[in-house]
Structure 1
């Protein structure tokens, strides 16, 4: 099996997708992101020491610039990886249905267009595109349909994967959409799952889902204390302490039989005062949580940087650059490396 496949990474962020590519033995030779902090994070980590790292707006970077910067790395087999920032597709919106040959005529799909532009110009042997699962919502689905039409017109066989990070060893419920394309032929229908619900795993001698306590308990010591984690004196601190592990604010409502209810069930966002249970997987780690939005630690505090990084399956020695807010955003926006690895391995099988 040849290992001469290389990856070009767009919207690289803190490098979660890119770490997954390295785990699949496909080194990332070029990465670009518009956030300076993300590129500085990559520079701090040896895994990317041989990667050409560009801080800039993809709109301003021509495909020829990418080709020229690659030099000899442009020879041989390559894949394109990345996920356009997903905020435009996280909520319902009005979509223009007219499609054009080289892109999608929609004001909020411009970054998807940039990915497609590079895909068409660079002509890799395969690609993995990641986004939120709600991109398949009927309101947004024209984006996916147009993406597939364009990729297939460029000679790619495509596969749309609805994936949950839990299935690939990530201790977190995190649903994502992957569009995978190959100039080869897919040998199976979808990536092989590595982890399973406990009831199935125990019966069939398989690996169960990874619980959050397994990966973050070591960080619950004074050595890792952060001033940002404290909730004492805050509006809902006393309420948070009353929420049992694995529950949210609904534990303090009449719905749960709470005496003198403090809240009304289903009147708040579900992750309000949401607390982890050490013997269950985590809920989705977000990029910009509100002050009382979870998941919180079962000890009634906010999660620490090494904890959210571990929940996202970043390597233990991975270093992040920037303010606490910036680092939360970088980690929350990332594709979990273990999840990325399995998606890229699935593509790789079709290329060799």
Structure 2
């Protein structure tokens, strides 16, 4: 369903000339009170897809599940999630309230406290023909978000928040047919070379063949640039790797099977309504309040840097870990 996002023209008066040109290069500005941006109200549900996996004998156990990202992906790929785990209470409550996982057992525990014995009954009752583990161990030790910490202070594989070792322990104890280990792309940064080598050696010692796959969520229909690295492992070897489904305008000209990148506004534009307003989320009077007002729609803090021509740069490009 098409709709129009109305932007008050007063906003444009807050932009410096270079930032205004950035905005005008992508949007046609009309000489009326409001600037209208057409968008499509899109939505998606998985609750109507339970029947597709409820009898599947390919089954998954999820770790570090959070709100269920990898778990949802597993079931959309045809693998029934029989259990999830997270140490955050709200995350577990979210999984329990999600009808898509009404058949699953959800643990509110720290993976360090878990062993194969905790899953013996679940596995026996579900009797999977193929068992897969999925998990994205906490990534703070390897994340770009920690670049403000000096390399001397970055612990990496020795960081107590690093749960990769505990995930490998569960893989060893449960001996699944395959598993996925997801982490931030920064894991492959040269400074983490030893940690990656140790991980590769551990996977091989456990008897798995694997590939390391870098992926950008944008290439798979998610309206967000989010780069991740996946260790995809199987006892029987890996046949191939995921094929991207979306691409840029240039890529679409070369590959007719690709779909255009999704736009953020098509998925969340409908929430720009008073009924969704949450006072605690307002940036008024808070850190970077004024800076946020000066960023053109569709841009981020780069618009306030010398790189993008700002006359009074507020930031330096590529020096911030966030991208408001």
Q: TM-score range by the shorter chain?
A: 0.7 to 0.9
**CA distance 1:266–1:196, change in 2 (3 Å):** same
Matched residue, 1:314:
none
**Following the alignment from structure 1 to structure 2, what is the Cα–Cα distance between the partners of residues 75 and 256?**
54
Superposed, 1:63-212 pairs within 5 Å as 63-90=116-143, 91=146, 92=151, 106-108=158-160, 111-188=163-240, 190-205=241-256, 206-212=258-264
CA shift, 1:95, in A, is 8.8
**Under a length normalisation based on structure 2, what TM-score does the superposition of the two structures give?**
0.73
**CA distance 1:84–1:250, change in 2 (3 Å):** closer
Matched residue, 1:16:
69
CA shift, 1:10, in A, is 1.0
The two structures, once aligned, show a CA RMSD in angstroms of 2.7
Matched residue, 2:280:
228
Q: Secondary structure at the match of 1:13?
A: coil
**CA distance 1:59–1:250, change in 2 (3 Å):** closer
Higher strand share: 2
8 A contact 2:212–2:231 mirrored in 1? yes
8 A contact 1:93–1:139 mirrored in 2? no
**Following the alignment from structure 1 to structure 2, what is the Cα–Cα distance between the partners of residues 236 and 65?**
47
List gaps (5 residues or longer) in structure 2.
1-54
Matched residue, 1:311:
none
Matched residue, 1:41:
94
**Following the alignment from structure 1 to structure 2, what is the Cα–Cα distance between the partners of residues 154 and 236?**
48
**Following the alignment from structure 2 to structure 1, what is the Cα–Cα distance between the partners of residues 56 and 318?**
50
CA shift, 1:108, in A, is 4.1
Q: Secondary structure at the match of 1:192?
A: coil
Q: Secondary structure at the match of 2:243?
A: coil
Q: Secondary structure at the match of 2:246?
A: coil
User: Which structure would you say has the larger Rg?
Assistant: 2
**Following the alignment from structure 2 to structure 1, what is the Cα–Cα distance between the partners of residues 307 and 159?**
43
Matched residue, 2:21:
none
Matched residue, 1:281:
none
8 A contact 1:255–1:265 mirrored in 2? no
**Following the alignment from structure 1 to structure 2, what is the Cα–Cα distance between the partners of residues 266 and 176?**
24
CA shift, 1:132, in A, is 0.8
**CA distance 1:109–1:136, change in 2 (3 Å):** farther
Superimposed CA distance per residue, residues 129-182 of structure 1 (whole angstroms, 9 cap, x where no aligned partner): 001111112221222222222222222111001111111111111111100101
Q: Secondary structure at the match of 2:252?
A: helix
**Following the alignment from structure 2 to structure 1, what is the Cα–Cα distance between the partners of residues 95 and 224?**
23
8 A contact 1:67–1:74 mirrored in 2? no
List gaps (5 residues or longer) in structure 1.
98-103, 272-292, 296-352
* Number of residue pairs the alignment of both structures matches: 263
CA shift, 1:62, in A, is 1.8
Q: Secondary structure at the match of 2:224?
A: coil
CA shift, 1:248, in A, is 3.8
**Following the alignment from structure 2 to structure 1, what is the Cα–Cα distance between the partners of residues 203 and 320?**
37
